[in-house]
Amino acid sequence: MDPLDVWYHQINAENMLATAHSLKEKKMEQAVIAQARRRTSRAEMGHATEIVNGRMQIKDEPPLVYHFPVTNQQEAARFNDTIRHFIADYCDTLPDDRRELFDRYQLIDAAMRVVGVGSVGTRCWVALFMADGNCPLFLQVKEARASVLERYLRPSRYANHGQRVATGQRLLQSASDIFLGWAKARMTGIDFYVRQLRDMKGAFDIANFDVSDFSEYAELCGRALGHAMGKAGDPALISGYVGTSDAFDEAIENFALAYADRNEQDWLMLRSGAKTGRIPVMEE
List the domain boundaries for the chain: 40-196
* Closest C-alpha among 167, 214, 166 to residue 193: 166
Model confidence at 28: pLDDT above 70: yes
Mean pLDDT, to the nearest integer, of 183-206? Answer: 88
Model confidence at 284: pLDDT above 70: no
Model confidence at 94: pLDDT above 70: yes
Model confidence at 55: pLDDT above 80: yes
Is residue 130 within a helix (H) or strand (E), and if so which, with residue range? strand 124-131
The model's pTM is: 0.83
- Percentage, residues of the chain above pLDDT 70: 98
Model confidence at 250: pLDDT above 90: yes
Mean pLDDT of the chain: 88
What is the per-residue pLDDT for 111?
Answer: 92
Order of strands, edge to edge, in the sheet holding 106-113?
Answer: 65-66, 106-113, 124-131, 135-143, 191-196, 181-184
